[in-house]
Structure formats: C-alpha cells, structure tokens
Amino acid sequence: MPGHIVSSYDADLENLRRSISEMGGIAEKMVTEATDALVRRDATLAQAVIAADKRLDTLQHEIEERSVLLIAKRQPLAIDLRETISAIRVSGDLERIGDLAKNVAKRVVAISDQAVGQKIILGVQHMSDLAEGQLKDVLDAYGSRDVKAAQDVWERDGEIDALYNSLFRELLTYMMEDPRNISFCTHLLFCAKNVERIGDHTTNIAETIQYLATGETPTGDRPKNDASNYATVTPGQG
C-alpha cells in the first residue's frame, strides 16, 4: 500500500499478507493430502498431514501477535485497521481448517487396516474436492481483494452442505446393512462433518473479504442446505 509516510508500516502489512499466504498454501495442501490419504488409505501420508499442522499453529500465533503489535504501535485507521483485523480473522479460520484436515488424517490412521467400501469413500472425496476448490478460490479472492469472487464462494457453500446431507444418510444405511461397517463408517461420518466445517470456515473467509472491502460483514443467513442434524434413517428403509 504505497502512500504511507512510515514505510516500515507498509513492510509490516506486506509481511502479514505474506504469512497469510503461506498459511493458505499449507492449509490447502493439508486438505488435499488428507483426502488423498483417505482415498488410498495411506497412513504415511496421513502422518505427514498431522505433522504439517504444527507450522500452521505457529504462523497463526505469530500473525495474531504481529497484528496486535501493529495496532498498538501504528494505530491504523479505516482500511489499514480492517486489513489488520482481517489478518487475525483469516489466520484463525486457516488454523481451524488445518485442525480439521489433521482430524481427517488421524481417522485415516485409525481405519488404514480395515476393509472399507471404496464407493462410500469416493463420496467423501467428491465433497472434499468441492471444499478444496472453494478454499482455493477464496484464497485467490483474498489475495486479489476480489469481493465478487468472494461472494461467489459464499453462495456456493450450500452445495457442500447438500452433499454432506446425502452422504450422512448413505453412511447410516451402510452401517445398518452390516455391523462390521459401523466402526469405519463412524470415522467417515466425522471425516465428512470435518469437510463440511472446512466449507464453513471457507465461507467465513469470504465474509472477511467483504468486511475488508466494505467495512460490513454480511448479516443475512448463509445459503445452508444441511438438514443432517434432523435426519434419521430406519433399518430396512435404506
């Protein structure tokens, strides 16, 4: 942001942006690799995802500290203040996305030696591909401050929820067919739930981009399609 009298201030903001961008890259990679590990039941790759989360936590911690310090030292106003607040918010969401990907990876380790229906795993993969695409788009939108692109991401969150909803019913039916499916299907249920929540945090980032640009956070209801909280399935109706 050229035009500031204090040029080290621009450098501070630029550093924040760079750290957010590094966090975004790590989070994206973790989500992709957690899904790959699940599809291939690859415990080694899953362990790598679990290990990657440490760096994300460190970065978030640093960004938060540097943002607070920046507010205290530079007393930014208007757009610069929003830039700093947004950095805190986005780093928080990326840290949570990393946690969720790590949780998927832990469950891959748990089910890596079990016979698992590949069809049902492909359902989780499909959902995860969608979440990955959304995350990539929202990070691009954050980098280019593209409110329109952020709005598109925001509107598409309902697709992930709808997929989760149908997967939830499918997994329940699968469990009822054979009790030997229960253990890994439960883990897959939580994997799917984690991916759905990755979608929620992606939507949070889309809202932060709007706040960054306009100073307003969207207050309307999100386009939710998640009815799984209310869903029940009865044996024999599958």
133: its two tokens: 């695409």
Nearest to 158 by CA among 184, 136, 127: 127
> Distance from CA of residue 83 to its chain's centroid?
21
Instruction: Give ∠ CA 196-170-166 in degrees, rounded to 5.
Output: 45
Find the binder of its own copies among 18, 61, 145, 224 (CB under 8 A). 61
Q: Which is nearer to its own copies, 131 or 185 (CB)?
A: 185
The rounded distance, in Å, linking the Cα atoms of 165 and 163 is 5
Q: By CB under 8 A, is residue 18 in contact with its own copies?
A: no
Question: Cβ contacts of residue 121 below 8 Å, gap of 6+?
Answer: 38, 39, 188
Q: Which is nearer to its own copies, 24 or 76 (CB)?
A: 76
Count CA atoms closer than 13 A to 148's CA, side-chain side. Answer: 0
- The single-letter DSSP state of residue 237 is -
- Shortest approach of its own copies to residue 126 CB, angstroms? 21
* Other CB atoms within 10 A of residue 134 CB: 23
Is 238 in a helix, a strand, or coil?
coil
Q: By CB under 8 A, is residue 231 in contact with its own copies?
A: yes
Of 8-16, 26-34, 65-73, 125-133, the window that binds its own copies (rule: CB under 8 A) is 65-73
Q: Which is nearer to its own copies, 71 or 213 (CB)?
A: 71
Give 3-state DSSP helix, strand, coil % of the chain, rounded to 5: 80, 0, 20
Find the binder of its own copies among 2, 72, 119, 148 (CB under 8 A). 72
Of 12-20, 66-74, 117-125, 149-157, the window that binds its own copies (rule: CB under 8 A) is 66-74
Nearest to 143 by CA among 205, 199, 93, 99: 205
The rounded distance, in Å, linking the Cα atoms of 186 and 136 is 28
Q: By CB under 8 A, is residue 66 in contact with its own copies?
A: no
- Shortest approach of its own copies to residue 68 CB, angstroms? 6
Q: By CB under 8 A, is residue 5 in contact with its own copies?
A: no
Find the binder of its own copies among 4, 17, 55, 106 (CB under 8 A). 106
- Shortest approach of its own copies to residue 182 CB, angstroms? 5
Contact string 118-157 vs its own copies (x = CB under 8 A): ----------------------------------------
Q: Which is nearer to its own copies, 49 or 137 (CB)?
A: 49
The rounded distance, in Å, linking the Cα atoms of 165 and 159 is 10
> Which parts of this chain interact with its own copies (CB under 8 A)?
61, 68, 71-72, 75-78, 81-82, 85, 92, 103, 106-107, 109-111, 114, 172, 175-176, 179-180, 182-184, 186-187, 189-190, 193, 217, 219, 229-235
